[in-house]
Structure 1
């Protein structure tokens, strides 16, 4: 048994690591942490003899046998995908030296896979909890095993490194899906049987469709309702009530892989056929903004698009989310800066006359007295369906293309049926504002809505 005097002679870092593990062990004990796996052949994850707390359901257990290379967990929101992946990946570190952790963005990989409430640091037991080193993009376990953090926004970081296994989270939300997937697969070459765990909400993307056909893929499907008893009432109100009974709910809650929907604004097959990894040279870049309405779940749509030298309009970025007016304005200008946009096009009707002033105030907070890029106000004079139709036609002609994957925008485009729902989603509206502005360059500014320019900064 190691004495205090011996510990006092240890290097400072070793003492700190010991203290961290002791604190983690105490937290585990205080939380009454329950072992994740039980020995029942079939289990719903609820407490039972030998397991006094919630634990893995049968569908959350790793597949047995040697016949699979990829464990594809297609599940609805709130199913427990992150916990399932984290519990699998720390156990893999007990057997193998090198692993990869890949999320949609660097922040997602850090905040969800590693530091999240159901991430690795929360799931690994105190005696085997890894040390997270953000500057090195890795977690290191007591046995020396290392898992490196990657982002699907930077596929080239996967060029070269080798791994025994990988955990890939929300594959369907990866913006540079094909490039990241290809680079990751080329690095799966250590050991006798490299394996991958994919935890994702489904979308009918080519990579997912190919995996579903691959005999070496072990597919597990799960629904939000499988884990409803563990979900907070606020989640049920915000997510389940939003999607339940809708076409999109079949994807987001029931984890169905949906193909083209008859009557939808744009077919998924059209979006997929036009997808590119990079845009060519761009002659004009704009940001479209659709401010949130009064509904509790409304988002502010923020989409960047550009007119290419080939005459095609490219959807570049989607940073839409639910936020306050001030946050939305700052986020809009942040997107303008990120893509070097020539103008910001925003909708200002239905009681949203505050938008222009909030945008100007936010610009001053961020850039002081520097002139802002031109603001272009759109006041709708026709219905949203009529405004969206010319843009939908450009999609069909392959004259609007997506740079990378924009999952939530694509879901809306492929599931919004104008004949059935007059209230178009915020992301679609923002995209329509941006692309319509680009189209006006070709049509001598034919008016679909009434733009009122605020002449500032450089021309657009």
Structure 2
């Protein structure tokens, strides 16, 4: 584990910044185990009311609780807590209880009170500020309430404030520091490819990487135009940027939904991009998002696969209206007019869209620094081009 912050040290928040596979989850699990059991290096007496906050309920369950480095795996059979998924509760034999929450629902933290909390992947939370604020109000039990944050860093305002807070104990750990517990194939493939790059410094070394100087977007610009929810929208589209193949090394399938309101402001609603998807899989995912948002059209880029891309969507649901688009200019030239919409204050992001925003703020004249295809950004570009930069079709009003 990263350098142990002991229970008698004068910290309130323990922030662990680490790369992928660096041991963040195991550290969080061992800390929760230690405070729940009241072990001397962690808490004495035990902390009996604990909050576990993940990016989503699925992440909290599959990673923090049930995962190979999760809380259940960190206990011996004799001391292991009882896990009740339907109640989202862990209960230890000594009476300690941990409740599981999703960062997608900040209000679920309004009311409960705790002695301790473990917040995982905070930099990816959809509503980081609101969820964090509600958690702080709930940390009011015991003589010294404490919280641990484990996350791969991104330069979001909340994380920057935590780093500047003298009451926050900070530990940093790299993927390479945990090499003995990682598959050699992973180390060769991932570290070999990304070591030294901007993406590698963030995802492997746990560094906070600020905006690329020549990028078309900045995080401050995106942050200034972020909203919690969209107003009634006149038109919604789901844009798809299909990969050339479905192999493990293939590009991701970009899937982004956006709409505009009666004042002409666009709202980026969701990034459903997926990797390693076969054509029927990404088509089903795009159609499901179209149906859920009651969108008006699916916009599909047909440079990769031509008519196959539209045909596979019609096989999933022939009733979905498909608009085919074809790229005739390079990615940078296509992205420039979309970035101007942001500079004009005409685009809002609904909640946090970390993967998409990382691509946007790392995209310059030479593409992404990783050399990979900006699939999420491409899909965003097609969606906003369809909504804002073409002749608009007759809209219909709906409320999300």
TM-score calculated relative to the size of structure 1: 0.79
Deviation at 1:192, TM superposition (A): 1.0
Give CA deviations for 1:359-405 in whole Å, capped at 9, x if unaligned.
111226xxxxxx32x11111111111111111111111221121111
**Gaps (5+ residues) in structure 1?**
1-55, 365-370, 446-452
Give CA deviations for 1:65-118 in whole Å, capped at 9, x if unaligned.
331000000111110111110010121112011100100001001111011010
Q: Which structure has the larger Rg?
A: 1
What secondary structure is seen at the aligned counterpart in 2 of 1:354? helix
Match of 2:257 in 1: 304
What secondary structure is seen at the aligned counterpart in 2 of 1:126? coil
**Gaps (5+ residues) in structure 2?**
38-45
Match of 2:40 in 1: none
Match of 1:403 in 2: 350
Looking at structure 2, the residues matched to 268 and 174 of structure 1 have their Cα atoms a distance apart, in angstroms, of: 15
> Is contact 2:14–2:168 with CA below 8 Å preserved after alignment?
yes
Match of 1:131 in 2: 82
- Which residue of 140, 145, 150 maps to 1:189? 140
Q: Which runs of 4+ in 1 moved over 2 A?
A: 60-66, 233-245, 350-353, 418-424
Match of 1:348 in 2: 302
Match of 1:384 in 2: 331
Give CA deviations for 1:321-350 in whole Å, capped at 9, x if unaligned.
112211111111111122221111111114
Looking at structure 2, the residues matched to 111 and 169 of structure 1 have their Cα atoms a distance apart, in angstroms, of: 12
TM-score calculated relative to the size of structure 2: 0.91
C-alpha RMSD of the superposition: 2.0
Change in Cα spacing, 1:118 to 1:423, as seen in structure 2 (3 Å) is closer
Change in Cα spacing, 1:326 to 1:239, as seen in structure 2 (3 Å) is farther
- Residues matched between the structures, number: 382
Looking at structure 1, the residues matched to 286 and 233 of structure 2 have their Cα atoms a distance apart, in angstroms, of: 20
* Correspondence 1:84 to 2:31: no
Looking at structure 2, the residues matched to 423 and 143 of structure 1 have their Cα atoms a distance apart, in angstroms, of: 50
* Larger RCO: 1 or 2 (CA < 8 Å, sep 6+): 2
> Is contact 2:251–2:373 with CA below 8 Å preserved after alignment?
no
Give CA deviations for 1:123-176 in whole Å, capped at 9, x if unaligned.
112221011101111111111211001001111111100011000000011011
What secondary structure is seen at the aligned counterpart in 2 of 1:101? strand
Change in Cα spacing, 1:60 to 1:293, as seen in structure 2 (3 Å) is farther
Deviation at 1:351, TM superposition (A): 3.4
* Correspondence 1:170 to 2:170: no
- Listed as ranges, the matches of 1:303-452 within 5 Å are 303-322=256-275, 323-363=277-317, 371-372=319-320, 374-419=321-366, 424-440=373-389, 443-444=390-391
Deviation at 1:64, TM superposition (A): 5.3
Q: Which moved more, 1:143-152 or 1:346-355?
A: 346-355
Q: Which moved more, 1:386-395 or 1:345-354?
A: 345-354
Change in Cα spacing, 1:304 to 1:238, as seen in structure 2 (3 Å) is farther
Deviation at 1:224, TM superposition (A): 1.2
> Is contact 1:60–1:84 with CA below 8 Å preserved after alignment?
no
Match of 1:9 in 2: none
